């Protein structure tokens, strides 16, 4: 079963007027991981798409998505897949890849229908592509590891870069995940914006009662949302994206836009946030 929800782009002037429920309706992705279903959110931020696939004992195939008006979803797109569940299997373009928890698979433009099997919980992100790059399965040991932050400021963390120029080739999709060191709670602090790219976060590895206080909005007009496990945030180019969590959590970040330069960002110091 496939379901697709469309999210239109929101101007920052509009976002300033939104209450809690409106913010969640426009920027939060919930219920992405339903047993036996593929659920997608098709956004008008760089035509970025995110979602989840949970085979639940029977194969699931992602093929035609009406919103793209193409023969198959990946005819003019690339895709990143992160397994946040048990061992699973992904098949496409005549190949198959076994994926453990935390593994990342990149599928290039033209891969055709994609089939998901096994005990995996597959997080999917996709962006338009202009050329076909090689498919690749990337294990955590193959990711580029970057350590940032300090224990004194409660933001010591490890950034694992998977779909990234230092690791592999893609068109515009960049993806990785950040793990907080025990005792640290803040991610992406100092905050930043990057007007040339949008971004999406998926928070996972949390206990059912835990929450992340996710900060968004213009630097001088910040807003917040309380995020539960396996919920995603759509972050427009004009918005900061930062947060602090209760207990252990990991977040998957994925970006699409004009470039793949991970360092292309404009920092905003805490003293300048309002």
CB-based contact 163:80 (threshold 8 Å): yes
* Cβ count within 10 A of residue 127: 25
CB-based contact 119:153 (threshold 8 Å): no
Question: Can you name the residues that pair with 123 across neighbouring β-strands?
Answer: 52, 82
Tokens of 26: 């426009």
Is 194 assigned a ligand-binding role in the annotation?
A: yes
Closest CA to 96 of 112, 114, 110: 114
State the DSSP code for 16.
T
Is 26 assigned a ligand-binding role in the annotation?
A: no
Is 192 assigned a ligand-binding role in the annotation?
A: yes
Is 11 assigned a ligand-binding role in the annotation?
A: no
Distance CA 266, CA 138 (A): 29
Distance CA 252, CA 177 (A): 4
Annotated binding-site residue numbers: 192, 194, 199, 241
Binding residues for Zn(2+): 192, 194, 199, 241
């Amino acid at each position: 079963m496939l379901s697709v929800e469309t999210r239109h782009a929101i101007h920052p002037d509009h976002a300033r007027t939104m209450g809690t429920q409106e913010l969640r309706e426009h920027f939060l992705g919930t219920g992405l991981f339903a047993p036996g279903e593929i659920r997608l959110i098709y956004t008008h931020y760089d035509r970025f798409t995110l979602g989840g696939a949970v085979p639940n004992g029977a194969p699931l195939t992602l093929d035609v998505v009406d919103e793209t008006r193409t023969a198959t979803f990946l005819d003019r797109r690339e895709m990143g897949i992160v397994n946040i569940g048990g061992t699973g299997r992904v098949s496409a373009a005549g190949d198959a890849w076994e994926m453990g928890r935390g593994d990342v698979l990149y599928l290039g433009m033209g891969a055709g229908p994609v089939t998901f099997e096994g005990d995996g919980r597959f997080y999917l992100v996709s962006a338009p592509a202009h050329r076909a790059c090689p498919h690749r399965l990337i294990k955590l040991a193959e990711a580029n590891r970057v350590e940032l932050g300090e224990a004194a400021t409660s933001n010591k963390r490890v950034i694992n870069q998977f779909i990234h120029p230092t690791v592999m080739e893609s068109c515009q999709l960049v993806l990785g995940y950040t793990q907080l060191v025990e005792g640290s709670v803040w991610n992406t602090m100092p905050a930043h914006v990057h007007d040339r790219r949008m971004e999406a976060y998926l928070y996972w590895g949390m206990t059912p009662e835990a929450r992340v206080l996710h900060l968004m909005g213009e630097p001088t007009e910040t807003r917040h949302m309380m995020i539960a496990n396996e919920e995603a945030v759509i972050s427009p180019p004009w918005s900061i994206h930062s947060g602090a969590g209760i207990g252990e959590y990991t977040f998957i970040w994925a970006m699409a836009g004009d470039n793949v330069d991970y360092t292309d960002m404009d920092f905003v110091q805490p003293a300048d946030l309002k």
